[in-house]
């Protein structure tokens, strides 16, 4: 018992103090290390500048491990070799950039293949050491600590720390520091790669979009003129001839009209998407407009024996509205054309007009095939068609409703759909009586 109460002798006491001092110094060093790592993580999350990140990581790596240099090698899928990447702002790094290192018979290659750290205290005694690298860089390598750069279990390269500056050589701590920093480097490289791929995909997409726009522009422009000639001559000849020839010309004419409508649709969609749309606002009667549209589709409805029902407010109310007449015409024409297209023979179409406060609603309903609930939002997207185009029974590009929606929205209005599959659909367009421009 007494033994423990005795004063420790002076020597022992001194040793204990030394040991504590050492422990404190080590802890201080660990804290500084953790602070640096935390800083790097912060930078990693806030920047996509890979050069800057690698530079700061390699600098921290050499400082924390007390080494002379740090280099990063990445695996090149095309050549099957490792290559130095510029990770420090030094002339040595510049000279090394792009230099290939074989996977077999090299220290970095071993680390890469095995996916494990490797420590070489004296490179001159190791047959795998590649002298040529030193010859190119004019750097004299003595010792190497190599750790793998890993992303989700896959090794993408190697981080090397060169020439430990103190006599004891590399320690377990150095391996830990290098491994932690290597994981930061791997994440930074992966982020930069993903970002670069994303940028590339975006550029390709923009280019494709531009090409598509140019094509639509050119095609619609180049097609319009000959089509106008066909339309002109066909209608002139139809009026001149009689009998079977007249019927055949009618077919030519209706095909040419379909083609013109397709071109108009493509041009309109492009204008809506590029927001190059100009409104030519006037005051007109909505009732007259709907009647004009119905007159255009009369023969089509008759051909399918469709009954037409209308409800145009009370009496002769013209239902005046201030809007772009041509564009609203297109909206109603598209809805009625769809109603006819998707309603089997002997069905019915309903067109109604109503006014509520400062708004007008136009309803186009049919007793057609209907649209199931999941599809009801999608039909307003560009080129969306419920039936796949190859097996379709119906004609069309699948852009009519996206144009309709675009045109309605430029007028500060909105469009909704209600439908029961097998029973029919109803589209309701709501427009303000006066468009505020």
- Toward ligand ADP, which CB reaches closer, 186 or 404? 404
Q: 110-129: which residues touch ligand ADP (CB under 6 A)?
A: none
Q: Which residue is nearest to ligand ADP (CB)?
A: 396
Sort 292 into a burial class: Cβ within 10 Å, 0-12 / 13-18 / 19+. middle
Q: Per rule CB under 6 A, is residue 109 in the interface with ligand ADP?
A: no
- Of 64, 70, 33, give the one whose Cα is nearest residue 144: 70
Number of residues that bind ligand ADP (CB under 6 A): 19
Residue found by looking up tokens 């097996």 in the block? 391
Which segments of 274-351 does DSSP mark as H helices, in order? 286-303, 325-341
Q: 249-288: which residues touch ligand ADP (CB under 6 A)?
A: none
Pick one of 339, 351, 362, 407: the residue that binds ligand ADP (CB under 6 A). 339
Residue 319: CB atoms within 10 A of its CB come to 19
Q: Per rule CB under 6 A, is residue 366 in the interface with ligand ADP?
A: yes
> 393-432 mask for ligand ADP (x: CB under 6 A)?
---xxxxxx-----------------------x-------
Q: 143-202: which residues touch ligand ADP (CB under 6 A)?
A: none
- Toward ligand ADP, which CB reaches closer, 109 or 396? 396
The Cα 368–Cα 348 span in angstroms is 8
- Toward ligand ADP, which CB reaches closer, 108 or 410? 410
Whether the CB-CB separation of 405 and 380 falls below 8 Å is answered with yes
Non-local (6+) Cβ contacts of 346 within 8 A are 304, 305, 306
The Cα 280–Cα 272 span in angstroms is 15
Non-local (6+) Cβ contacts of 428 within 8 A are 361, 362, 363, 415, 416, 417, 418
- Toward ligand ADP, which CB reaches closer, 312 or 384? 384
> 298-337 mask for ligand ADP (x: CB under 6 A)?
----------------------------------------
Q: Per rule CB under 6 A, is residue 297 in the interface with ligand ADP?
A: no
Binding site for ligand ADP (CB under 6 A): 338-339, 342, 366, 368-371, 379, 384-386, 396-401, 425
């Amino acid at each position: 018992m007494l033994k423990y109460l005795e004063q420790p002798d002076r020597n022992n006491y001194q040793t204990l103090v030394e040991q504590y001092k050492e422990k404190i110094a080590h802890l201080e060093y660990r804290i500084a290390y953790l602070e640096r790592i935390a800083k790097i993580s912060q930078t990693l999350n806030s920047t996509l500048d890979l050069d800057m990140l690698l530079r700061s990581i390699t600098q921290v790596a050499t400082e924390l491990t007390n080494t002379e240099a740090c280099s990063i090698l990445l695996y090149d899928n095309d050549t099957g070799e490792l290559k130095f990447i510029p990770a420090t702002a030094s002339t040595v790094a510049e000279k090394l950039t792009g230099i290939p290192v074989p996977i077999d018979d090299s220290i970095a290659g071993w680390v890469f293949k095995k996916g494990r750290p490797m420590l070489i205290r004296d490179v001159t005694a190791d047959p795998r050491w590649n002298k040529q690298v030193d010859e190119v860089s004019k750097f004299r390598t003595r010792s190497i600590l190599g750790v793998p750069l890993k992303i989700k279990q896959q090794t993408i390269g190697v981080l090397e720390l060169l020439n430990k500056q103190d006599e004891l050589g590399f320690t377990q701590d150095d391996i830990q520091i290098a491994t932690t920093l290597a994981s930061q480097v791997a994440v930074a490289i992966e982020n930069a790669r993903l970002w670069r791929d994303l940028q590339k995909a975006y550029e390709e997409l923009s280019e494709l979009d531009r090409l598509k726009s140019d094509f639509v522009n050119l095609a619609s422009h180049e097609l319009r003129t000959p089509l106008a000639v066909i339309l002109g001559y066909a209608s002139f000849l139809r009026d001149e001839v009689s009998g079977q020839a007249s019927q055949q010309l009618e077919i030519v004419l209706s095909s040419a009209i379909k083609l013109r409508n397709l071109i108009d649709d493509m041009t309109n969609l492009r204008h809506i998407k590029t927001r190059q749309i100009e409104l030519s606002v006037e005051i007109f009667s909505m009732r007259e407009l709907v009647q004009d549209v119905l007159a255009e589709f009369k023969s089509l409805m008759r051909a399918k024996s469709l009954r037409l029902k209308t409800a145009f407010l009370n009496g002769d109310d013209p239902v005046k509205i201030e809007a772009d007449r041509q564009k609203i015409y297109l909206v109603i024409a598209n809805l009625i054309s769809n109603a006819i297209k998707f309603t089997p023979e002997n069905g019915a179409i309903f067109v109604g007009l109503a006014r509520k406060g400062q708004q007008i609603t136009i309803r186009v309903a049919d007793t057609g095939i209907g649209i199931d609930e999941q599809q009801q939002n999608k039909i307003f997207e560009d080129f969306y068609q419920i039936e796949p185009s190859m097996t379709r029974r119906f004609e069309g590009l699948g852009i009519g409703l996206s144009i309709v929606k675009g045109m309605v929205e430029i007028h500060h209005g909105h469009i909704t759909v209600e439908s029961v599959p097998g029973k029919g659909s109803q589209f309701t367009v709501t427009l303000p009586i006066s468009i505020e421009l």
